[in-house]
């Protein structure tokens, strides 16, 4: 399948669209600023004065721009019938973390393979609408969100082993943010074993891999000292026969997550990852969880380097903090680890976002995430009254009625692995204000490996955003029905395999996104019992209306987003579950409304292969930037050969 790198099939149409939007944009921007003036902003001290001063100015320019906007609209509207439903962007990475290199790491035999997925509603609306959710400055937030995700995901996955007479087991493969050393080029380096430290903490590359590390991350590299691949976890071994002290830190009492050395680039950055604003210091930006970050100093000769030394004099600077897995909990009957994490998981492979409605914000977000993800789809959706232009298959024309779409779907997808096929469908039953956006489902087929017989190993990912109005359960159930039908058609149309001649092996099938209903509210009983949950498994759910005890709500209370006790990743992480989540009028069981889902299929995969959750995480790294908690899941795909 050919992926669309431009929104229009010809340069002439693209030029016409650019001109028409240039005529419309001043009116759009002025109207947005005018409406934003009348929505309270807690950070603005003189809002009344601003209203008095700027209202007549905005109104005057708005009236002046209306004739130009009308002319641009007459050109823009018919162009939408020829517009493609998404834009594909690839920033080629030929390094060891690039998509082409990743494909050669797994052949579908031997050790298992893990894949990490995350989904988040980031509320990147026009400013006037975003303010209704108590979040502000959409353009700046888009850049900050991209920085935090990129820096959180580019950390190494750390495995911690405890050597003691009574316990030699591994702490579960963690979303920990312990940072392995870097060279001056920003790439990972293995620390020679001769380096002395104040405690028995040993970083190992692939040469010191533990058997379970082999199983989780594939065969060892041919270079035993190579720890530069993001796919390979670095190991921290803590011996029980020594003092047990962690390396000296500036403030051990406030340990939490780790911090990159201030003088170098973020740990685990890909060759695409250039130094950008907000990359130094804390992971992501000055506002990203400063309270949880501590520095450790390690010199070349004994770990007692001069605090004023430059990074070039100490290229093996490391960061060590208290174990991030302290927040992890495992229920006695649970087969996987779960946690509330202040950072996005390390080695994140796939990212699905919702409510990336603003096109300028989407571009800023794309530019930031290309520092880690090679493949990105953005500006997904349709605009205008496409049903009025004779498109019989158009999903925006419902029962002969023309539905005008002002906003796109808000869906956004980023991947480290190559994208093979894409399909988008718009829900046909949108109502009210929700009907003004082309909410729908984005279906993707990605290649994650190939066998020795040149069979492709693929995975399916579906990203969606359902109807938002609380009382419209029937609308959401109808959309879930559409979702299942479209997904079945997508798999059938993109499959090049047959039972007799399997050209492809399916490793996973994921459905994720903002479904706008929870599993506890009595008003959502209809959605809770939908057949989607028989086909796909929810790691947080025991059954209809019953959550697992560790699951928490992902919809935050917008009134308290800027409160000090939840405005940083650490503070939100330490908040008692459910205390800052938004509830409903009826009695709500559990710890808040969990409306952001990550589902996976156990059936429909390659025969004898099995997908199991390895870790599940609620992420607080975007605190203060959105009114939702992102969720992440690490999925382990086991082959039949390994089980035998």
Q: What is the pLDDT of residue 555?
A: 92
What single-letter DSSP state applies at residue 435? G
Stated length of the chain: 644
644 Cβ neighbours under 8 A, 6+ residues apart: none
What is the C-alpha separation between 549 and 547, in angstroms, rounded? 6
DSSP string of 252-295? GGG--EE---TTSPPTT--TT----TT-SSSSSSTTS-GGGEE-
Strands 201-204 and 234-239: antiparallel
Quick one: which of 195, 225, 198, 204 has its CA closest to 300? 195
CB-based contact 459:115 (threshold 8 Å): yes
Q: Which of 79-83, 176-180, 523-527 has the lowest mean pLDDT?
A: 176-180
Q: What is the pLDDT of residue 235?
A: 52
How far is the CA of 36 from the CAs of 39, 135, 502, 561, in angstroms? 5, 12, 56, 18
What is the C-alpha separation between 418 and 202, in angstroms, rounded? 35
Query: What mean pLDDT is predicted for residues 148-165?
Result: 73
CB-based contact 505:108 (threshold 8 Å): yes
Residue 628 is among the residues annotated as catalytic for this protein: yes
Residue 385 has pLDDT above 60, yes or no: yes
Q: Which CATH architecture has domain 105-155+330-639?
A: 4-Layer Sandwich (3.60)
The phi, psi pair for 133, rounded to 5°, reads: -100, 15
Q: What is the pLDDT of residue 91?
A: 87
CB-based contact 263:189 (threshold 8 Å): no
Q: Which of 145-154, 385-394, 482-491 has the lowest mean pLDDT?
A: 385-394
Q: Which of 136-140, 165-169, 528-532, 561-565 has the lowest mean pLDDT?
A: 165-169
Q: What is the pLDDT of residue 592?
A: 81
CA dihedral 533, 537, 538, 540 (to 10 degrees): 130
Strand stretches in 358-500, DSSP E:
375-378, 397-398, 401-402, 412-415, 419-426, 440-450, 456-465
What is the C-alpha separation between 87 and 362, in angstroms, rounded? 11
Residue 451 has pLDDT above 60, yes or no: yes
What is the C-alpha separation between 267 and 272, in angstroms, rounded? 13
What are the pLDDT digits (tens) for 360-377?
A: 999 999 999 999 999 999
Tokens at 311, concatenated: 């990074």
CB-based contact 255:570 (threshold 8 Å): no
Q: What is the pLDDT of residue 378?
A: 96
Secondary structure in 3-state letters for 70-107: HHHHHHHHHHHHHCCCCEEEECCCCCCCCHHHHHCCCC
Q: What is the pLDDT of residue 430?
A: 86
Secondary structure in 3-state letters for 142-196: HHHHHHHHHHHHCCCCEEEEEECCCCCCEECCCCCCCECCECCCCCECCCCCCCC
- Gyration radius from the chain CA atoms: 25
Q: How confident is the model at residue 113 (pLDDT cuts 50, 70, 90)?
A: confident
What is the C-alpha separation between 600 and 460, in angstroms, rounded? 10
Q: What is the pLDDT of residue 165?
A: 52
Return the domain boundaries, the chain. 1-84, 105-155+330-639
206 Cβ neighbours under 8 A, 6+ residues apart: 220, 221, 223, 224, 225, 226, 227, 232
- Residue tagged 């991350």 (tokens): 217
Q: How confident is the model at residue 71 (pLDDT cuts 50, 70, 90)?
A: very high
What are the pLDDT digits (tens) for 400-445?
A: 444 789 999 999 999 999 999 999 999 998 888 888 999 999 999 9
Host H or E run for residue 114: strand 113-124
Q: Which of 149-163, 165-179, 189-203 has the lowest mean pLDDT?
A: 189-203
Quick one: which of 261, 170, 185 has its CA closest to 217? 170
What is the C-alpha separation between 336 and 198, in angstroms, rounded? 33
Higher-confidence residue: 160 or 149? Answer: 149
Average pLDDT over all residues of the chain: 74
What is the C-alpha separation between 89 and 108, in angstroms, rounded? 28
What are the pLDDT digits (tens) for 25-66?
A: 999 999 999 999 988 877 777 888 888 999 999 999 999 999
DSSP string of 495-530? ----SSS--EEEEEEEEEEE-S--SS-GGGHHHHT-
Q: Which of 370, 465, 467, 628 is catalytic?
A: 628
Residue 12 has pLDDT above 90, yes or no: yes
What is the C-alpha separation between 341 and 345, in angstroms, rounded? 8
Q: Which of 190-194, 326-330, 342-346, 524-528 has the lowest mean pLDDT?
A: 190-194
Residue 200 has pLDDT above 60, yes or no: no
What are the pLDDT digits (tens) for 497-536?
A: 655 556 788 999 999 999 999 998 888 999 999 999 999 9
Query: What mean pLDDT is predicted for residues 79-90?
Result: 93
Quick one: which of 504, 503, 484, 481 has its CA closest to 443? 484
Mark residue 430 as left, alpha or beta (left: phi above 0; alpha: psi -120 to 50; beta: remaining): beta
Q: How confident is the model at residue 182 (pLDDT cuts 50, 70, 90)?
A: very low
């Amino acid at each position: 399948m050919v992926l669309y790198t431009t929104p229009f099939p010809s340069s002439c149409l693209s030029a016409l669209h650019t001109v028409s939007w240039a005529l419309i944009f001043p009116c759009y921007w002025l109207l947005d600023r005018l409406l934003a003036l009348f929505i309270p902003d807690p950070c603005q001290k003189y809002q009344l004065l601003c209203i008095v001063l700027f209202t007549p100015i905005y109104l005057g320019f708005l009236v002046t721009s209306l004739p130009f906007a009308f002319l641009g609209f007459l050109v823009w509207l018919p162009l939408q019938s020829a517009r493609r439903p998404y834009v594909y962007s690839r920033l080629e990475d030929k390094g060891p973390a690039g998509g082409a290199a990743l494909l050669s790491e797994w052949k579908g035999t031997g050790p298992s393979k893990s894949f990490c997925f995350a989904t988040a509603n980031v509320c990147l609306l026009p400013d006037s609408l975003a303010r209704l959710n108590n979040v502000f400055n959409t353009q700046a937030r888009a850049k900050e969100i991209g920085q935090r995700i990129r820096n959180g995901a580019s950390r190494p996955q750390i495995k911690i082993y405890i050597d003691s007479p009574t316990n030699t087991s591994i702490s579960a493969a963690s979303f920990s943010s312990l940072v392995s050393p870097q060279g001056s080029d920003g790439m990972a380096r293995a620390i020679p074993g001769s380096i002395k430290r104040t405690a028995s903490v040993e970083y190992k590359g692939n040469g010191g891999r533990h058997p379970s590390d082999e199983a989780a991350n594939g065969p060892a590299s041919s270079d035993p000292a190579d720890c530069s691949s993001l796919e390979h976890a670095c190991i921290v071994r803590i011996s029980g026969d020594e003092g047990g002290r962690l390396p000296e830190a500036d403030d051990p009492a406030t340990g939490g997550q780790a911090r990159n050395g201030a003088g170098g680039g973020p740990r685990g950055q890909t060759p695409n990852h250039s130094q950008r604003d907000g990359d130094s210091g804390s992971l992501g930006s000055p506002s990203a969880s400063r309270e949880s970050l501590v520095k450790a100093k390690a010199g070349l000769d004994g770990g007692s380097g001069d605090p004023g030394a430059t990074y070039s004099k100490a290229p093996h600077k490391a960061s060590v903090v208290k174990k991030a897995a302290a927040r992890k909990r495992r229920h006695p009957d649970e087969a996987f680890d779960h946690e509330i994490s202040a950072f996005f998981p390390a080695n994140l492979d796939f990212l699905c976002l919702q409510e990336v409605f603003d096109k300028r914000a989407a571009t800023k977000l794309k530019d930031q995430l290309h520092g880690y993800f090679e493949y990105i789809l953005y500006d997904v959706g349709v605009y205008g009254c496409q049903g009025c232009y004779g498109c019989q298959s158009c999903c925006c024309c419902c029962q002969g009625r023309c539905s005008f779409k002002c906003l796109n779907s808000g869906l956004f997808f980023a991947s480290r692995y190559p994208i093979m096929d894409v399909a988008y469908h718009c829900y046909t039953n949108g109502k009210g204000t929700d009907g003004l956006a082309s909410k729908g489902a984005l279906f993707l087929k990605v290649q994650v490996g190939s066998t020795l017989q040149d069979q492709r190993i693929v995975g399916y990912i579906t990203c969606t955003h359902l109807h938002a109005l609380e009382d419209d359960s029937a609308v959401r159930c109808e959309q879930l029905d559409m979702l299942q039908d479209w997904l079945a058609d997508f798999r059938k149309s993109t499959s090049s395999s047959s039972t007799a001649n399997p050209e492809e092996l399916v490793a996973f099938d994921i459905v994720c996104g903002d479904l706008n209903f929870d599993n506890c509210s009595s008003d959502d009983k209809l959605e809770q019992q939908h057949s989607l949950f028989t086909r796909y498994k929810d790691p947080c759910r025991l059954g209809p209306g019953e959550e697992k005890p560790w699951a928490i709500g992902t919809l935050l209370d917008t009134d308290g987003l800027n409160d000090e006790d939840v405005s940083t990743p650490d503070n939100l992480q330490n908040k008692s579950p459910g205390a800052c989540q938004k509830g409903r009028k009826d009695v709500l069981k559990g710890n808040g409304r969990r409306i952001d889902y990550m589902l996976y299929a156990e059936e429909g995969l390659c025969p004898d292969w099995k997908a199991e959750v390895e870790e599940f995480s609620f992420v607080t790294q975007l605190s203060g930037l959105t009114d939702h908690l992102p969720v992440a899941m690490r999925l382990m795909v086991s082959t039949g050969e390994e089980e035998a």
